[in-house]
Amino acid sequence: MLPYKSLIQIDRHASVALHVQVCNSFISLITKGTLLPSEALPSSRILAELIGINRNTAKLAYEELISQGWAESIERKGVFVLSNLPILEKIALPKNAFDTSHSAFSWTNHFAKAVLSKSLQKTKLAIDDGFPDVRLAPVDELMREYRSMARKFYGKGFLKYGSAKGSEKLRAAISRYLSDTRGVTASSDHILVTKGSQMGIYLAAQLLLSPADTIAVGNSNYRLADDAFRHTNAALLRIPVDDSGMDIDYLEKALQHQKIKAVYVIPHHHLPTTVTLNSERRLKLLALAREHRFAIIEDDYDFDFHYNNKPYLPLASIDHHQNVIYIGSISKTFAPALRIGFMVGPPVFIEAAAALRELIDRQGDTLMEEAFAVMFDDGEVDRHFRKSLKIYKQRRNLFCEVLRTSFADAISFKTPEGGLAVWSTFDKKIDLQKMSDAALQHGLFIDNGDFYKNESFSTNAMRMGFASLDEDEIIRALEILRKTI
The CATH number of the domain holding residue 36 is 1.10.10.10
Residues 159 and 304 in one domain: yes
Domain boundary (14, 48, 81) is at 81
Domain boundary (329, 354, 382) is at 382
322, part of any domain: yes
Residue-wise pLDDT for 267-294, tens only, equals: 999 999 999 999 999 999 999 999 999 9
**Residue 55 amino acid letter:** R
pLDDT of residue 92: 56
115, part of any domain: no
344, part of any domain: yes
Is residue 193 scored above 90 in pLDDT?
yes
- Structural domain boundaries, residue 45: 4-81
Buried b (16+ CB within 10 A) or exposed e, 323-336: bbbbbbbbbbbbbb
Rounded mean pLDDT, 46-72 = 93
87, part of any domain: no
Rounded mean pLDDT, 350-354 = 96
Residues 277 and 337 in one domain: yes
Is residue 364 scored above 80 in pLDDT?
no
pLDDT of residue 111: 79
Residue 342: which CATH number? Answer: 3.40.640.10
Q: How many domains does the chain have?
A: 3
Residue-wise pLDDT for 211-237, tens only, equals: 999 999 999 999 999 999 999 999 999
Q: Taking the CB of residue 6, how many other CB atoms lie within 10 A of it?
A: 9
pLDDT of residue 140: 86
- Binned at pLDDT 50, 70 and 90, residue 154 comes out as low
Of 154, 187, 196, 213, whose CA–CA distance to 328 is shortest?
Answer: 196
Residues 347 and 198 in one domain: yes
Residues 416 and 359 in one domain: no
pLDDT of residue 426: 97
Residues 21 and 71 in one domain: yes
H-helix or E-strand spanning residue 18? helix 18-31
Is residue 94 scored above 60 in pLDDT?
no
- Binned at pLDDT 50, 70 and 90, residue 105 comes out as confident
Is residue 444 scored above 80 in pLDDT?
yes
Residues 68 and 153 in one domain: no
The share of the chain scoring above pLDDT 90, in percent, equals: 65
The SS3 call for residue 315 is helix
Residue 477: which CATH number? Answer: 3.90.1150.10
- Name the average pLDDT for the chain: 89
- Binned at pLDDT 50, 70 and 90, residue 88 comes out as low
**Cα 408 to chain centroid, rounded:** 34
Strands 78-81 and 71-74: antiparallel
Of 480, 469, 398, whose CA–CA distance to 440 is shortest?
Answer: 480
Residue-wise pLDDT for 113-133, tens only, equals: 777 777 666 677 999 999 989
Residues 147 and 74 in one domain: no
Residues 397 and 338 in one domain: no
pLDDT of residue 24: 93
Residues 321 and 257 in one domain: yes
Domain boundary (351, 382, 413) is at 382
H helical segments located in 186-243? 197-208, 223-230
CA distance 37 to 81: 5
pLDDT of residue 369: 87
88, part of any domain: no
101, part of any domain: no
Rounded mean pLDDT, 388-395 = 94
Of 430, 450, 454, whose CA–CA distance to 129 is shortest?
Answer: 450
92, part of any domain: no
pTM of the model: 0.78
Q: Please spell the DSSP secondary structure of 37-82, one letter per residue.
A: TTPBPPPHHHHHHHHT--HHHHHHHHHHHHHTTSEEEETTTEEEE-
Residues 310 and 189 in one domain: yes
Rounded mean pLDDT, 450-466 = 93
| Structural contact between residues 344 and 190, judged by C-beta atoms closer than 8 angstroms | yes
Q: Please spell the DSSP secondary structure of 82-135, one letter per residue.
A: -TTSPP-PPPPPPSSTT--TT-SS----TTTT--PPPP-TT-SSEE-SS---TT
Residues 144 and 54 in one domain: no
Residues 226 and 369 in one domain: yes
pLDDT of residue 215: 98
pLDDT of residue 393: 95
Rounded mean pLDDT, 251-267 = 97
CA within 13 Å, CB half, 414: 12
289, part of any domain: yes
The SS3 call for residue 261 is coil
